[in-house]
């Protein structure tokens, strides 16, 4: 069973994935993306995955058979699962918790060679609809307190399968990254009476030099303190802490801005590996006036090394103003 352990000084958590239990010899050919062979995520190969959790599929078709356009399955190598109902914390010098949660894969298309910016607008909306629906379903489950939805694209960014997919990990705790954001945002709100993300949108629109794209409901920009070259933030203009609240009109605008932003990124950097993450409110904070959900896109162009691990300070060789200018001016 996976075990969550807490570092006693920083409060950071790790997942000890005991079922993987990797030995030294397992760390040899690790930078390989699985290519060729039979893809378990392609249409027609539904029996190669565990039974589907849900799917958006044509009327009259059956689970674990073709006819779907989005399919959600359990991750075969789950970082967290629900094999135990006990998730109590043991307190001593060290703290741990049973790794009670869920780990799912959202297969974004029946087609193998469809990268995110190539989806038609309707399919893109269906992907984000699946994100929202899995978030709603998992947040309703005890003892889930946070759901991380993310996408790894390219072997360097951690994708072990090429077929387009995103992942969902539901955890019984609030991760420190999110806790730090909540605490920083809360302090800002106490001080100034405003959501700092709403303020950020106002500042970015006024400055303009970090903007990439915008539409009625969303804005895409390279953040002021970008840790990575070509890092991108996408924020809804209207205050909303929880991604679950996404309605159909927002789905349309979100899909449109992600498509145009990813098209520009792909064209500027010849299809770079990247990680795409949703940040959203944890349980108990979905109505917070100071938190604001967002998408974060991290192209993996630089190497995180000793200085970054030691300090948490990232050295970014491309000012976000320069990156945004390239992206703005890239024709798509």
Binding to a copy of itself, residues 162-201 (CB under 8 A):
167, 169, 171, 175-178, 180-181, 184-185, 188, 196-197, 199-200
List the alpha helices (DSSP H) in 208-277.
248-268
Q: Which of 165, 239, 279, 292 is catalytic?
A: 165
Span 274-313, contacts to a copy of itself by CB under 8 A: 275-279, 296, 298, 301-307, 309-313
Residue 83, both tokens: 């094999």
Residue from the set 76, 83, 84, 94 that interacts with a copy of itself by CB under 8 A: 94
Q: What value, to the nearest 5°, has the Cα angle with vertex 140 and ends 165 and 168?
A: 15
Residue from the set 88, 203, 205, 287 that interacts with a copy of itself by CB under 8 A: 203
Span 130-159, contacts to a copy of itself by CB under 8 A: 146, 148, 150-152, 156-159
Residue with Cβ nearer a copy of itself (256 or 276): 276
The per-residue DSSP string of 42-63 comes to: STT-GGGSSPPSEEEE-TT--T
- Contact flag: residue 29 with a copy of itself (CB under 8 A): no
Residue 20, both tokens: 């993987």
The per-residue DSSP string of 90-132 comes to: EESSSEEEE-BSEEEEEE--S-TT--GGGS-HHHHHHHHHHHH
Q: Do 197 and 185 contact (CB within 8 A), yes or no? A: yes
Residue with Cβ nearer a copy of itself (65 or 267): 267
Residue with Cβ nearer a copy of itself (46 or 212): 212
Span 250-279, contacts to a copy of itself by CB under 8 A: 268-269, 272, 275-279
Q: Do 136 and 10 contact (CB within 8 A), yes or no? A: no
165 is catalytic: yes
x/- mask, a copy of itself, residues 208-237, rule CB under 8 A, reads ---------------xxxxx-xx-------
Nearest CA to 209 out of 195, 223, 228 is that of 223
- Contact flag: residue 91 with a copy of itself (CB under 8 A): no
- Contact flag: residue 84 with a copy of itself (CB under 8 A): no
Residue 236, both tokens: 């809804």
Shortest Å distance, C-beta 332 to a copy of itself: 14
Span 50-69, contacts to a copy of itself by CB under 8 A: none
- SS3 category, 210: coil
User: In angstroms, rounded to a whole number, what is the distance separating the alpha carbons of residues 258 and 278?
Assistant: 12
Residues recognised as catalytic: 165
């Amino acid at each position: 069973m996976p075990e969550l352990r807490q570092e006693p000084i920083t409060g950071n958590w790790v997942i000890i994935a005991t079922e993987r239990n990797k030995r030294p010899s397992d760390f040899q050919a690790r930078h390989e993306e699985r290519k060729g062979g039979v893809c378990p995520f392609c249409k027609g190969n539904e029996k190669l995955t565990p039974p589907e959790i849900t799917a958006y599929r044509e009327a009259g078709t059956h689970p674990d058979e073709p006819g779907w356009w989005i399919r959600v399955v359990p991750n075969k190598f789950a970082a967290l699962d629900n094999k135990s109902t006990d998730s109590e914390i043991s307190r001593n010098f060290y703290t741990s918790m049973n790794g009670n949660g869920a780990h799912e894969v959202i297969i974004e298309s029946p087609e193998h060679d469809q990268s995110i910016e190539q989806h038609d607008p309707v399919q893109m909306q269906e992907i984000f609809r699946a994100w929202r629906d899995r978030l709603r379903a998992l947040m309703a489950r005890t003892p889930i307190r946070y759901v991380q939805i993310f996408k790894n694209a390219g072997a360097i960014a951690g994708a072990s399968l090429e077929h387009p997919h995103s992942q969902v990990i539901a955890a019984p705790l609030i991760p420190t990254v999110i806790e730090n954001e909540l605490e920083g945002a809360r302090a800002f709100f106490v001080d100034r009476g405003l959501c700092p993300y709403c303020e950020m949108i106002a500042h970015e629109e006024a400055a303009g030099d970090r903007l990439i794209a915008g539409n009625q409901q969303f804005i895409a920009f390279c953040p002021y303190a970008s840790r990575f070259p070509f890092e991108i933030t996408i924020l809804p203009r209207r205050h909303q802490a929880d991604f679950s609240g996404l309605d159909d009109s927002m789905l349309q605008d979100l899909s449109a801005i992600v498509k145009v932003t990813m098209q520009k990124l792909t064209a500027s950097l010849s299809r770079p590996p990247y990680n795409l993450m949703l940040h959203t409110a944890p349980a108990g904070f979905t109505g917070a006036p100071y938190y604001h959900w967002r998408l974060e896109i991290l192209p993996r162009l630089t190497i995180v090394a000793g200085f970054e691990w030691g300090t948490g300070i990232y050295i970014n060789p491309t000012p976000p103003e320069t990156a945004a200018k390239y992206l703005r001016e890239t024709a798509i």
